[in-house]
Structure 1
Amino acid sequence: MNVAANHAVTLRLEDLVLKFSRKEKTINTIPISFSFREGEKRAILCGNRRIRDELLGSIYGLVQPASGRISHQGLVSWPLGLKGGLDGKLTLRQNMLFLSSLYQDRVVPLNIEKFLKTFLDAAGLSPRERLKDLRSRDQKLFFLMTALAFSFDVFLVPSAQFLMGSENDQVIKYLRTVFEARIENHTLITTSGNKKFLKDFCDQGLAIDASGQQIFEGSLDECFDWMKASSSQGDSVEESDIVDESLFSRDLSNEDNQSELLEII
């Protein structure tokens, strides 16, 4: 899984300063500079969930950093498992076809209708159901499935909630299989707190402390060791994989303005 040093840089952070609140105080992180290369699978480790979410949101363009610059080559996914450009008033089929029209040159399945049907059959859903009428879990499964219909150059994964689970869960098993195929030879950046997911899919890590200071980058195992050795209990990587969706959902929603293309080139 190691990426050769001569692989092209797909995304670069230059003196990126994030802004977040802690105990009613606004705090700026120490500048972060880092490059992600083509095909690289890297976990961002930080005990402060807010910093991880802010960083991923900044990479996609949802969150305005305090200062710094983000540059990239190719197409960056919206954070997988979050709403993306979906409209709750539309049916599941209408939403899938709408996104397919936006990213028509990035659609992977030869038959998008068949791809949708395979997922819906496994999940026990109908293509005629409106997105907003689904249970919360089914909505999130649908969010993830739609993102996996496309080939992105950089995949952003804030949570592994619906990529890990029982082998008897056919929906999660299907989504995980598709996910494995999509990220092959593409860049993966994840802020998931699920250690099993990180060990299954990442070989590189970037360790950041609770103040936002980059403390180590290297192999995933080495980063875990550094986090354990240099962090307090409150700074360690947690097993919880719950994302603060309020950071993403309003900006990602496409319900009031379907003309906006959620595309970063």
Structure 2
Amino acid sequence: MIRFENVTKVYKTDGHRRTILEQASFTLKPGISYGILGINGAGKSTTMRLIAGTEEPTRGLVKRGLRVSWPLGFGGGFHPQMTGRDNVKFIARIYGEDPKRVLDFVEDFSELGSYLDVPIRTYSSGMNARLAFGMSMAIPFDCYLIDEVTSVGDGRFARRCEEVFSQRRKHADVIMISHSMEVIRAWCTQGIVLLNGRAIVYEDVNDAIEVYHRLNA
């Protein structure tokens, strides 16, 4: 279960105040996959970062009763001066996983070869994505977060990503952001609509999509 309790998130820049969430309270239940919907600027990615724990609320609490991933394929947590190999081992230890097992998986999955032994800062965006996706799949989570990314790389590698993630989804939930409502329908059964600082959970994802379309009309 993931629970938002009176969560307020405010950004202050150059004297401007922007409120993303204002005293939002809602519960995301295990066994259900959710789509996060809202017009541009509503705070979808911010809400996902709050769920992931990569950002903290300005006020209120986010409680997690399950193991939540970082956004799928997100490589922002890598240290650019460290090698890919050292990043993988470091992250594995943080999550209490066997570094050798995780490294063996990522090494095979990413197909980066000798590039695993050079600093991340030298990677192309494609190499970074391969490492990040491999890392995401190497550690088992109860809930995977997806922000517009479901596969990376060329066609063959993209198919491998889809195959492995399909296996993970048999035992895990998904919380996702996508501008494609067909993707939301295919992956999610319930929806969260962000509007004016509020987060409204709809038990039928089609109801959430209908509201989203009205907001964008």
TM range (shorter): 0.7 to 0.9
In structure 2, the residue matched to 1:7 is: none
Higher share of residues assigned strand: 2
Q: 1:175-254 alignment to 2 at 5 Å? A: 175-209=161-195, 211-215=196-200, 217-229=202-214, 231-233=215-217
Please give the residue correspondences for 1:32-51 in structure 2 after superposition, counting only pairs within 5 Å: 32-49=24-41, 51=43
Paired residue type of 1:149: A
Distance (Å, rounded) in 2 between the aligned partners of 1:51 and 1:182: 27
Aligned partner of 1:153 in structure 2 is 142
Partner SS state of residue 87, structure 2:
helix
Structure 1 residue aligned with 2:61, among 59, 69, 76? 69
Query: Shift of the alpha carbon at 1:165?
Result: 7.3
Give the ranges of 4+ consecutive aligned residues of structure 1 lying more than 3 Å apart after TM superposition.
20-25, 104-107, 110-114, 123-126, 194-197
Q: Deviations over 1:128-178 (max 9, x none)?
A: 333211112321232122121111223222232xx2479x61222212222
The amino acid that maps onto 2:136 is A
Cα distance between partner residues in 2 of 1:146 and 1:94: 12
Pairwise CA RMSD: 3.0
1:115 has 2:122 as partner:
no
Question: Which one-letter code corresponds to 2:125 in the other structure?
Answer: S
Taking only the aligned residue pairs, the percentage that are identical comes to 20
Give CA-to-partner distance per residue, 1:65-120, whole Å, 9 cap, x none. Answer: 2322211213222222222542222222222222223324488xx94444223323
TM-score when scaled to structure 1? 0.69
Superposition TM-score, scaled by structure 2 size: 0.82
Worse overlay, 34-43 or 76-85: 76-85
Cα distance in structure 2, aligned partners of 1:193 and 1:21: 27
What CA deviation, in whole Å up to 9, does each residue of 1:3-49 have, x standing for no partner? Answer: xxxxxxx1111222222469974133443221111121101101134
Higher helix share: 2
Match of 2:115 among 126, 136, 154: 126
The answer (yes or no) to whether the contact 1:88–1:130 under 8 Å persists in 2 is: yes
Alpha-carbon separation, structure 1, partners of 2:65 and 2:200 = 26
CA gap 1:227/1:143 in 2 versus in 1, 3 angstroms: same
For structure 2, list consecutive stretches of 5 or more residues without a partner in the other structure. none
Q: Contact 2:35–2:190 (CA<8 Å) still a contact in 1?
A: yes
Unaligned runs of at least 5 residues, structure 1: 1-9, 234-265
Shift in alpha-carbon separation, 1:139–1:68, aligned structure 2, 3 A: same
Partner residue in 2 for 1:249: none
> Separation in 1 of the partners of 2:208 and 2:173?
19
